[in-house]
Amino acid sequence: MTLDIHPVQRFGALVRENVGRVIVGKEDTVELMLVALLCEGHVLLEDVPGVGKTMLARALARSLGCSFRRIQFTPDLLPTDILGVSVYNQGTGAFEFRPGPIFAQIVLADEINRAGPRTQSALLEAMQERQVTADGRTYPLERPFLVLATQNPIELEGTFPLPEAQVDRFLMRLAPGYPDEEEERAILRRFRTEDPLERLEPVVSGEEVLALGALCRQVYVHDVVEGYILSLVRATREHEDLRLGASPRGSLALYRASQALAALRGRTHVLPDDVQYLAGPVLTHRLIPSARLRLRGETAADILKRIVAQVPVPVEETWQQPAS
């Protein structure tokens, strides 16, 4: 039976067009966010202020028929401000749990590194298990559940670095970057009289996203391509300039993201090119460079680029699933 991938392509086209009514350019970033959405993976948007990180996250959230909440992270934010709190009801004589803003399908965690480690860690269970535990009771979160977090890597005063365990739970780290001159001119004209975000309407539902995500997991991955993914990940663990390589969670993330990317691009099978394209966004933030590397002025991204260039790319006549 041939896998019909056209619904995923249609989904990608609809959301791209809708987000494009607000966001100028950033096609690659939007595509990667769609990959994360289909994988139910969280995204860390890391770049300087003013490049449209929050606008992009809000545009994507508005394009989906999902509940949406925004949390502005500040140093005085408490875990209960995110998760919720139990309140005594005098009428019933019992405590009632009042859900916090984490109980939404799309959660925008704005400037996540402005909150303290204890508050940041309050997201861990929600991001990994899709549930929240409060006062000894566990509350499931509605799916799809996606955390879109933003942070500014330049301004470090009054910020708290994200714990490595939490960084590893983000499927991708993306940096939208500055627009070119023509894109910036288009931004000026588009926002001259109104904010197009206010008129954005949903184009797909949460149920559709879940169904399409399940469809993506049926995309075929050849054994040799699977081996290529493992070779890249293992090379990060063995490199002398990296103190910490990618975890098995990283290899699984690269595997599933490659399936989703292939489906969005209209293929029922993964190519080595898909793996190479996703290696940076999926793996870089999981790597910790050695002190020697930092002294040389290099980054984990530089090392990963060299690893991708050095690991042999498999060559095969076809990567499609053999006929049964």
Instruction: Name 132's bridge partners.
Output: 139
Is residue 7 helix, strand or coil?
helix
Q: Which CATH superfamily is domain 219-312 in?
A: Magnesium chelatase subunit I, C-Terminal domain (1.10.8.80)
Q: Is the dihedral of CA 195, 197, 198, 199 positive or negative?
A: positive
- CA pair distance 219, 7, nearest whole angstrom: 13
Distance (Å) of CA 235 to CA 139, 199, 239, 244: 39, 47, 6, 11
Q: Which CATH superfamily is domain 1-214 in?
A: P-loop containing nucleotide triphosphate hydrolases (3.40.50.300)
Q: Which of 149, 308, 299, 171 is nearest to 247 (CA)?
A: 171
- CA pair distance 322, 224, nearest whole angstrom: 14
- Tens of pLDDT, residue by residue, the chain (324 residues): 578 889 999 999 999 888 888 888 888 888 999 999 999 999 998 877 777 777 888 888 888 888 888 898 888 888 888 988 888 777 777 878 888 899 998 898 888 888 888 888 788 888 888 988 877 788 899 888 999 888 877 666 667 778 788 888 899 998 887 888 888 888 888 888 777 777 888 888 888 999 999 999 999 999 999 999 999 999 999 888 888 888 899 999 999 999 999 999 999 999 999 999 999 999 999 988 887 777 777 788 888 999 999 999 888 767 777 765
- CA pair distance 257, 249, nearest whole angstrom: 12
State the pTM of this model: 0.88
| CATH 1.10.8.80 in the chain, residue ranges | 219-312
| CATH 3.40.50.300 in the chain, residue ranges | 1-214
